[in-house]
Amino acid sequence: MTELAATQHAFAAELLATTRPAGGMGVYHDNHRANVRQALELAYPALRRLVGAQYFAQLVAQYRVGTPSRSGDLHHAGAGFAPFVHAHFSTPDAAARYACLGDVAALEWAWQEVFVAEDAPTLEPNALASIAESSWPALRFRLHPACRLVGSRYPIHALWIANRDAAGDAAVDLDAGAEYVFLTRPQHEILVRRITSAAFEFLRALQARTTLAEATERACAVDSTFDLLATLVDTFRAGAITQCATELAPLGSAAQNT
């Protein structure tokens, strides 16, 4: 090993050590911890408010040891935190209702992904008008790269709305039932919409590139009163669809769709 490599390996080991080193090294030890904590505080404000600053810091400390940052872009440091929080509150000794915290974290990370996702052209509902109705059942859809779906047995949308900034104080009934959230970003404004369980199944199927017929069948299996036309028009209007065709063109040619 070269001298420079040996120096950096030894330095890195001191930063990762659980004991705070003495002297100037202690400043770097503190910085490393504060940098990760601040990045996660920014990405997960509702979770932080729900568990409190102190418990949040403990979660971050445990997460950092098991999942150190792998990128010079701190944004990526938050990616594994939602699954970590989910696993943390899914252990047998965690109270069952804490499981909602993992789902709130998943919603917050989805928001972060939506925020930085690629731009893409979107289609208006009248795009369907140019397609013969006889071929609708075989249509497949390409959703906007920013589209995300997050579902939970708990009212995560209400929890998120009430806690994403310090001003919110609406009491949320954890027994209010399951909530399904659809996020996208047609332009720069992020859209976060609570949807029905059937619409959630439907969009999940479309995202997996099933045919419209198959997606409709899955949605109806959840709720036989599923309103296909209304959901489809809503999805177009949300700016969530970049392509629809019986055979989707490969990515890259999608840009010609504007």
Q: Of 181, 174, 147, whose CA–CA distance to 159 is shortest?
A: 174
Is there a contact between 151 and 143 (Cβ–Cβ < 8 Å)?
no
Chosen residue from 52, 58, 62, 70 binding other proteins by CB under 8 A? 70
- Over the window 34 to 63, marking each residue x when it contacts other proteins by CB under 8 A and - when it does not, the resulting string is -xx--x------------------------
Beta strands in 12-147 (DSSP E): 140-143
The continuous run of DSSP H or E covering 5 comes out as helix 3-16
Closer Cβ to other proteins, 173 or 189, answer by number: 189
Tell me 62's DSSP state: H
Closer Cβ to other proteins, 9 or 97, answer by number: 9
Closer Cβ to other proteins, 11 or 55, answer by number: 11
Q: CB of 103: closest distance to other proteins in angstroms?
A: 24
Beta strands in the chain (DSSP E): 140-143, 148-152, 179-184, 191-195, 241-245
Q: How far is CA 22 from CA 25, 28, 43, 211, 229, in A?
A: 6, 10, 31, 62, 66
Tokens 């408010």 correspond to what residue? 49
| Count of beta carbons in the 10 Å neighbourhood of residue 145 | 17
Position 3 contacts other proteins (CB under 8 A): yes
Position 135 contacts other proteins (CB under 8 A): no
Closer Cβ to other proteins, 32 or 88, answer by number: 32
Position 7 contacts other proteins (CB under 8 A): yes
Q: CB of 130: closest distance to other proteins in angstroms?
A: 27
Q: CB of 116: closest distance to other proteins in angstroms?
A: 4
The C-alpha atoms of residue 74 and residue 52 are separated, in whole angstroms, by 23
- Over the window 11 to 30, marking each residue x when it contacts other proteins by CB under 8 A and - when it does not, the resulting string is xx--xx-----xxxxxxx--
Position 73 contacts other proteins (CB under 8 A): yes
Chosen residue from 61, 119, 178, 249 binding other proteins by CB under 8 A? 119
In this structure, which amino acid lies at residue 93? D
**Reduced to 3 states, what is the DSSP secondary structure of residue 118?**
coil
Q: CB of 173: closest distance to other proteins in angstroms?
A: 34
177-236: which residues touch other proteins (CB under 8 A)?
185, 188
Burial class (CB in 10 A: 0-12, 13-18, 19+), 152: buried
Counting Cα atoms < 13 Å in the Cβ hemisphere of 54 gives 0
Chosen residue from 17, 20, 31, 255 binding other proteins by CB under 8 A? 31
Of 110-118, 158-166, 203-211, 227-235, which segment contacts other proteins by CB under 8 A? Answer: 110-118
140-179: which residues touch other proteins (CB under 8 A)?
145-146
Residues that bind other proteins (CB under 8 A): 2-5, 7-9, 11-12, 15-16, 22-28, 31-32, 35-36, 39, 68-75, 77, 114-120, 145-146, 185, 188
